Structure 1
C-alpha cells in the first residue's frame, strides 16, 4: 500500500482464493418490525431493504452492491471472537443497519443488558457476474458500535475499533470463485460498563437523568461491496476555497456544473504530490446560496464521482471584535443543538427522507447552521446539509463525563488514564479525516462540558495539543476546543453554556467556578463569542407523542404549560441573544434543541416528528432579526487575523 498526500491508491494482486460453497439460507426468515414506545411517520416505510441509496457521496463508484437487509444474529459471551460460527445458521433475524436496541432491528424492544456486549452477525452474498474479472472487491462499513472483527468464508479479514467511523477491507483473496460467500461480523460494545471510557456521546446503559439516552449496539450504518481495479482511489480529500482553488491531488480531475456533463474545469496532476488547480469564477457556497459542483476523478482505470462547494472559512476582527468569517464576511451562526436520535432507530434514522426532514424544518424558519452534538451521522446527512445550506459545528463524540475514583469511594475522576486519552485522540483524528471534505463543516468541537477532559493541573491541558492536531489535519476550519466548561483558552471560540437565558460574548457570567479553570467566566475578547447551548424550554406532551407515558418523566430545563407559552418563552430568550449581538460580542447561538429525545421534551419538534411547536411566522421573523443585528455589527472593514484553509490569504481574494 502506498499513501499519497491527498489521494491514496492501493496496489494489490488480483488473485482470487477459493472457499467452500455455502448453502444459501433465507435472510428474511423471521424478521418482524417491533413495536417500541414511539414510532415516526417513516417507521412503516423501512421494510427489509433499508437505506438503498449509495452511502458514500464523496467517493462513489458505479459498480457497487448494497448488503443491507435482514441478516442473522446471535448473542454470545466474551472470548468467542476467535471461534466464528462458520457454516451455521444463527438463531435470530436482525435488520442491518439498525441499533440492536431499536424497534427497527426486529428484536424485541428491550433494555440492553451486559449479555448483549458481544454478538455475531451473519449474511451471505454473491459477486455480480458483470463485475470485471481481475478487479478487487472491497467491503465497506459505515459504522459498527464499538469494535468489529470481520470474517469472510471463515477467514478473518480485518478488525476495526471506533463506533462512529467508516472502514474498508479488501476481501478479494477470501472470496469463493463462483458461488455464495458467508460474511460474519463479531461486534463488541461495552458502552459505559465497568470502567470502560470510550467515545459514546449520549449513550448509557443506565439511562438515569434527563440528558442520557438509549444506547446503540452493533451495525448501525450501511454495509456495501465495491469493485475496483487493482490500483484504485482509496480516499479523496477536497478543500475548495472561495478563491476558486481546489486542494485535492487526483491524477485527473474534472469539475462540472450540477446537472451538466459540460466541464467547467479540468486538470491533471501527478500522484504522490500536492495538487492545486483553479476554477474560474465559481459561484460561491453559502447557507442562502448552497451552490455545489460535481467532480469526476480518474486514476488509471478507476473512476469516482464526487462534488464540492467553493467557500472559505476563517477568523477576523471586525470593529474590534473577533468574528467567524465565511467568504471573508461575518456570518452569524444560528443553530439548534442536534442530537440525532430517533424513537424507532435510536442512532439510525428510519430513512434518508426522515433524516432530511429535520433539516428542512429548520431551514423553513431560517436556521443557517447545526451543532451536531457528540454524534457522527451517516455520510448522506452531510450531503443533505451541503445541499440545503447549513454550517455544521461537528462535535467529537465524548467520553463518559466521570468515573468513580478508585482511591476515594466518595469521589470521581474525569479521565481513566493515558490509554483512554490516546484512544480518544486517535478517534478524533478519524473524525476529521472522514468528514473534512464536506462543504458544510464549519468547525470542530473537541470536548463538550469537560466530559472526559483531563483537568489535572500538574499536566499540560490536552485541548491545546488536540487543537494543534485538528488544525494539522484540517487547516480549513475553525476549532471549538471546549464547548461550555473548563475553558483554558484553547481554540477559536469562547463558548458559554447557560440554561435558560444566554450569556454570549458578554461581561456577565454564571458563578460556577472562577478563572480559566472554572466552568464559565466572562467573555475572552481574544476569541469568538459563542453561546454553545441555551434555551432548553420544554412542554409536556400527550402520551401518544411521548416516549414516556408518565408526566413525571417528561422534563426539561424549564417547562411551559401550552404551546403558545412555549413560543413566548423561547422567543423571549432569543431576543436576549439578539440584544447581546447588538451590545456585546456575540457571534453565534445554539438553541437546545431540534427534537425531543426520550424524556427530554425541549425540542422544536416532538420526538416522533409529528408535532412542530414553532409558530413559523414568529420564529422566522425573530431569527431574521438576529441576522439583521449581526449585519449592523459586521459592516466595518475586516482585518484578517487567521487564515484557516492553507491556501492564499483572504486579502488577495477580497481586496
Structure 2
C-alpha cells in the first residue's frame, strides 16, 4: 500500500506495517478481563447492491477497524444507501485456556466496538446478530453455540449505512457535500471500532457505575455492580440465497416501543434479571497508586446501588490538575465458589452548579473550563484515530497548551479515548450526535426571524414567543414533523451512549442538541436526562434555540470578535460559550476569521480570551485541528503544526497578560480611501518612528483594502509586492511584510511607489447591488504587532 502524504500522519506508517491495529489496546479499559482476542487486521471484503443476497466473492481486503472511506482501510471509496458492505474473516482459537471448564459455565462473546450503521452478523452461516442499529454504541453477541473449537470459524458481517439519506444519528457526516465552506465532512461507513472476542462466565459482571458526592467532611461513593446472565440461544441457519432486508419504516414494530420520560423512574441499567437470592458475593479492593489498599470490603447486592463513605482527608479527588485514579479489583463469588476477577479504576470527583451566581463547580469549588471543540476526524483514519498513541497525543498537546476541557462534537469515541481523558486529566463535554434533519422541529414559524437573530448572537436577550416553551413541532400540519420511528431511534442511541460512557469521570457534561439540528421535545428529553444521570450537568441546547430554565447550562455560540452575552443572568443555570473563535491562517480551505501569519492569529486569540466576561463558567474554542476543508484548527489536520505562538497561548490560558501582543497602526496613506478610479499612480514617503526598548518580536504589516483592483507596491525602490487577491478577500486585511524590511530600519524615512488599476476580470457582477456604489476602492495602512 503506497503512503499518500496528503492523507498521512506520523502514525500512518506504523498502522500499515502492523498486522493487527490496536493489537494490545484493551477495547473496554474500565472493565477488563485477562482472556481476550483482538480480531482487527486484514479481512476479506466486497460491496454489493442492497438487492443482492450473500455475495459470491469477497474480492478485496480491508483493514479493520477503519471506515471504508478512509485511506487506512485500503478501500477509500464513498458509500451510499444502495450498497451493502460485506466483511469476512476466517479465524480459529488454538489456546487451551479458552476451552477450560464446562462450556455451559463459560461463553465466548463477540464484541463490536463501533459499526456504522445497520449490522447483521453471521458465524458459520448462522445469524448470531440480527440488524443492530447504531453507529456509536458497542454491541456484543454470545457466539458459543456455533463456535467450533480449535478449528476455522467463518465470521461474516453485513453493514448498511445510508448516512444522511435516513434519520439515523450521524453527527457531521454528509453525502454529496459540495459546499466550499462546509461544516460537514466525509461520511464514515462500516466497522470503525475494534472487533474482539472475550471469554466470560455464564453469569458475569456486565457493568460498573460509580458516583461521587462530597460534603464538608466526607466523600460518599455510590457504586453499583451489575451482573448479566447469558441464556443459551438458538439461531437461524441462513442460506446464502436468502436475503435479509434492510430496516425500513414499513417493518418497524411499534409494539413495546416507548419514548423516554423522567417519570418512568429508570436507572442506568438494562438488565432485568433478579440476583438477590442467588448467594452472590463481591470482594472489592480500592487500591492507591503506591499499591496500598484504601479499603477492602464485601458486597452481597448485585444490580443495586449502594454507598460507602470516606473521610474527605483520605481521598485524592480527581481533577485536570490532579487526575488521580484508584485501581479497583473485584472478585465475584457464588456460594463460595470463585467465578471471575475484574480490573477497573475510579476517579472521585463531583461536578455541580454552585448555589451562588450559578457557576460550574468541580469538587465543590468554582472551576472555569477553557476548552476546545474536537470533531474527532483524522486525515488517514477519518472517524478512527490511526493508533492509541494518536488519541493520547491530541489530549496531551491540548493540555500542554493550558486547556482543561474538550468538547467531543457531534460524535462519540471508542472507550480508549475517554480512558486517556481519565488518565491524563481532561474534562469532557459529550455531544449526542445529531440525527434526522439539520433543521429543528420545535421553532414556531412566527419566531423564525427572531431565532435567526439569536443564531447570530446579536440579540441573545430577545424574548421568546410563549408557545416555544412547549414541546411543539414546527407546524402540526407540516410533513417535516419528526416521526415516532425517528424519535425512538434517536432516544435508543442517546440512552445507549449514556449507559456505556457514564462510567468515565472525565465526562462532566452531556450536550443533548447542537444548534437546533434535529431538535425536538427538548423539555421532555432534558428533564429525562437530568433525572437519569444525576452525576453530570445537562446542556440541553448548545447554541441558538434555548429553552428557558431547562437543564443546568445556558449555552451561547458566537464567532464574532466581540462575544455578546444575554443582558441578564439566568437564575438557575450557568452561562457558557459553547463555540467561539474559528481563527484560521490564509493558506487554503476556509475559516470563520482568516489571518496572514501565526503572530496575528495569536493576537486575535489573546484578545478573545482577554475580553471573556466574568459571568461565564466556560469557553469552548473552535477547534482542536483542521478538518478536511475547514482550517480553523489550533493544529493542522495531520497534527504536525501548531498555528499559534505556544508561549503566548500558555500564558494567556493561565491568565497571565504580562506579555500580550499589541497591535498599533503607525501610518496611513490617506485619511480618505481612494474610490471610483481606473488607475492610480502614487508616491508617498513616511518616517517610521517606533517607541521601543528593543526590536525583538516586532512584526510589520500592510493593512489594506482594494476592491476589484491589482496593486503593485515598491518599497524603498527595491522591494516589490503585488496584491491581486481582491476576488478572494473583499475587506480590510493584514499582509505581512518581510521581517527585516522595516524592523532593521526604524527611525528612517521610507518611500512607497504605488500603482493601482481596475481589473474587470475581478469584478463579480453578482456583487454590484451588494457592495459599494463605487466599483473601485483602495486604502493602505502600515501596522506593527509587538510583544
TM-score, normalization: structure 1?
Answer: 0.79
Q: Alpha carbons of 1:417 and 1:309: their partners in 2 closer, same or farther (altered >3 Å)?
A: same
Shift of residue 239, structure 1, vs aligned partner:
2.0
On the 8 A contact 1:596/1:604 being kept in 2, the answer is yes
Q: Where does residue 595 of structure 2 map in the other structure?
A: 560
For the pair 1:98 / 2:66, whether they are aligned, the reply is yes
CA distance in 1, matches of 2:331, 2:657: 42
Q: Where does residue 779 of structure 2 map in the other structure?
A: none
CA distance in 2, matches of 1:536, 1:466: 30
For the pair 1:500 / 2:471, whether they are aligned, the reply is no
Q: SS at the partner of 1:260?
A: coil
More deviation, 95-104/127-136: 127-136
Q: Alpha carbons of 1:505 and 1:291: their partners in 2 closer, same or farther (altered >3 Å)?
A: farther
CA distance in 2, matches of 1:262, 1:344: 43
On the 8 A contact 1:414/1:452 being kept in 2, the answer is no
Q: Where does residue 351 of structure 1 map in the other structure?
A: 387
The structure whose RCO (Cα within 8 Å, separation 6+) is larger is: 1
Unaligned runs of 5+ in 2: 226-281, 334-338, 442-473, 659-787
Quick one: which of 533, 541, 545 aligns to 2:579?
Answer: 533
More deviation, 610-619/253-262: 253-262
More deviation, 346-355/293-302: 293-302
CA distance in 2, matches of 1:403, 1:475: 29
For the pair 1:203 / 2:249, whether they are aligned, the reply is no
Q: SS at the partner of 1:363?
A: helix
Q: Alpha carbons of 1:623 and 1:282: their partners in 2 closer, same or farther (altered >3 Å)?
A: same
On the 8 A contact 1:238/1:308 being kept in 2, the answer is yes
Q: SS at the partner of 2:540?
A: strand
Q: Where does residue 144 of structure 1 map in the other structure?
A: 115
- How does 1:508-587 map onto structure 2 within 5 Å? 524-541=570-587, 551=588, 554-577=589-612, 580-581=613-614, 585-587=615-617
For the pair 1:325 / 2:350, whether they are aligned, the reply is no
Quick one: which of 508, 516, 526 aligns to 1:467?
Answer: 526
Q: Where does residue 622 of structure 1 map in the other structure?
A: 652
For the pair 1:293 / 2:326, whether they are aligned, the reply is yes
On the 8 A contact 2:529/2:538 being kept in 1, the answer is yes
CA distance in 2, matches of 1:619, 1:182: 53
For the pair 1:423 / 2:504, whether they are aligned, the reply is no
On the 8 A contact 2:317/2:349 being kept in 1, the answer is yes
Query: After TM superposition, what 4+ stretches of structure 1 lie above 4 angstroms from structure 2?
Result: 411-415
Deviations 1:4-28 (A, max 9, x none): xxxxxxxxxxxxxxxxxxxxxxxxx
Shift of residue 205, structure 1, vs aligned partner:
0.8
For the pair 1:436 / 2:474, whether they are aligned, the reply is no
Q: SS at the partner of 1:564?
A: helix
CA distance in 2, matches of 1:483, 1:568: 27
More deviation, 243-252/162-171: 243-252
CA distance in 2, matches of 1:534, 1:404: 21
On the 8 A contact 2:3/2:13 being kept in 1, the answer is no
For the pair 1:188 / 2:160, whether they are aligned, the reply is yes
On the 8 A contact 2:422/2:504 being kept in 1, the answer is yes
Quick one: which of 10, 29, 40 aligns to 1:68?
Answer: 40
For the pair 1:244 / 2:219, whether they are aligned, the reply is yes
Quick one: which of 603, 611, 627 aligns to 1:597?
Answer: 627
Shift of residue 276, structure 1, vs aligned partner:
1.7
CA distance in 2, matches of 1:231, 1:203: 39
Shift of residue 470, structure 1, vs aligned partner:
1.5
Q: Where does residue 518 of structure 2 map in the other structure?
A: 452
Quick one: which of 89, 97, 108 aligns to 1:130?
Answer: 97
More deviation, 468-477/32-41: 32-41
On the 8 A contact 2:353/2:573 being kept in 1, the answer is no
Shift of residue 464, structure 1, vs aligned partner:
1.4
On the 8 A contact 2:438/2:516 being kept in 1, the answer is no
On the 8 A contact 1:256/1:293 being kept in 2, the answer is yes
- How does 1:613-652 map onto structure 2 within 5 Å? 613-625=643-655
CA distance in 2, matches of 1:428, 1:93: 33
Q: Alpha carbons of 1:531 and 1:413: their partners in 2 closer, same or farther (altered >3 Å)?
A: farther
CA distance in 2, matches of 1:479, 1:232: 32
On the 8 A contact 1:596/1:607 being kept in 2, the answer is yes
Unaligned runs of 5+ in 1: 1-31, 455-461, 508-521, 542-550, 629-655
Q: Alpha carbons of 1:272 and 1:591: their partners in 2 closer, same or farther (altered >3 Å)?
A: closer
**Bigger radius of gyration:** 2
Q: SS at the partner of 1:46?
A: helix
Q: Where does residue 376 of structure 1 map in the other structure?
A: 412
CA distance in 2, matches of 1:369, 1:33: 37
On the 8 A contact 1:265/1:279 being kept in 2, the answer is no
On the 8 A contact 2:283/2:296 being kept in 1, the answer is no
CA distance in 1, matches of 2:591, 2:478: 26
CA distance in 2, matches of 1:212, 1:350: 21
For the pair 1:360 / 2:396, whether they are aligned, the reply is yes
Q: SS at the partner of 1:426?
A: helix
Q: Where does residue 346 of structure 2 map in the other structure?
A: 308
- How does 1:129-278 map onto structure 2 within 5 Å? 129-131=96-98, 132-133=100-101, 134=103, 135-159=106-130, 160-193=132-165, 196-209=166-179, 210-242=182-214, 243-250=218-225, 251-258=282-289, 260=291, 262=293, 264-278=295-309
CA distance in 2, matches of 1:266, 1:67: 37
CA distance in 2, matches of 1:627, 1:372: 29
Deviations 1:186-219 (A, max 9, x none): 10100012xx121111101122332011110000
More deviation, 216-225/204-213: 204-213
On the 8 A contact 2:79/2:161 being kept in 1, the answer is no
CA distance in 2, matches of 1:558, 1:523: 29
Quick one: which of 45, 48, 51 aligns to 2:14?
Answer: 45
Query: More strand per residue: 1 or 2?
Result: 2
CA distance in 1, matches of 2:478, 2:11: 42
Q: Alpha carbons of 1:468 and 1:228: their partners in 2 closer, same or farther (altered >3 Å)?
A: same
